[in-house]
Amino acid sequence: MATTADFKNGLCINHNGNLWKIESFQHVKPGKGPAFVRTKLRNLKTLRILENTFTAGVKIDVVRIENRTYQYLYKEGEDTYHFMNQKNYEQISIQKSMINAPEFLKEGENVEIMFHAENEEPMSCNLPQNVNLAIESTEPGEKGNTATNALKPATTETGAEIKVPLFINKGDVVKIDTSSGSYLERIKK
């Protein structure tokens, strides 16, 4: 068991029966009354943020979390995705709800899967911050239709719908931010 003196950003704890990651914390010593620690916690299952106050010195249950690199293999049905550990070739399947941006997963892509180290249970799957995908289909841009930063719809090789600038054509490779799903830049060939 640890105490609030052991708090640090990124520490995972068991609080009220759920697993939480400490996003930020602040030790407060008021002039009157006991010291306390003000925290922002992120639920590792639902990803929602909770602001919580702990009395200084209270015991907390620290949980060991491991991030492991896996390679995406294929999708089965609507909700099941299969991944392989490249070190020992062990394969696991993960539900779509555990993946931060499943629409941008391309076969062979490396992802980080977070595991609860004590029971080897996968908790979440995170794609890299940016991915490079080819454009499968988009309408040709009209010349002179660029008064402002005009965007048009496009479909990537994974089937994801994104907005791209008018100069992007079918077959171009673009860099996409996986957290927002937005176009970043065209990749030079």
How confident is the model at residue 64, as a pLDDT?
Answer: 87
Q: What is the CATH number of domain 66-126?
A: 2.40.50.140
- Per residue, what are the HEC states of the chain? CEEHHHCCCCCEEEECCEEEEEEEEEEECCCCCCCEEEEEEEECCCCCEEEEEEECCCEEEECCEEEEEEEEEEEECCCEEEEEECCCCCEEEEEHHHECCHHHCCCCCEEEEEEECCCCEEEEEECCCEEEEEEEEECCCCCCCCCCCCEEEEEECCCCEEEEECCCCCCCEEEEECCCCEEEEEECC
How confident is the model at residue 173, as a pLDDT?
Answer: 92
How confident is the model at residue 144, as a pLDDT?
Answer: 61
Burial of 91 (0-12, 13-18, 19+ CB in 10 A): exposed
Binned average pLDDT, 10 residues per bin, the chain of 189 residues: 84 87 90 90 84 90 88 90 91 88 89 86 86 88 66 89 88 90 86
Give span(s): CATH 2.30.30.30, the chain: 2-62
How confident is the model at residue 57, as a pLDDT?
Answer: 86
How confident is the model at residue 142, as a pLDDT?
Answer: 66
Which residues contact residue 103 at a Cβ distance below 8 angstroms, ignoring those fewer than 6 apart?
Answer: 158, 159, 160, 181
Q: What is the CATH number of domain 2-62?
A: 2.30.30.30
Give span(s): CATH 2.40.50.140, the chain: 66-126, 130-187
How confident is the model at residue 175, as a pLDDT?
Answer: 93
How confident is the model at residue 72, as a pLDDT?
Answer: 92
Q: Which of the listed CATH numbers 3.40.190.10, 2.40.50.140, 1.10.10.10, 3.65.10.10 matches domain 130-187?
A: 2.40.50.140
Burial of 136 (0-12, 13-18, 19+ CB in 10 A): middle
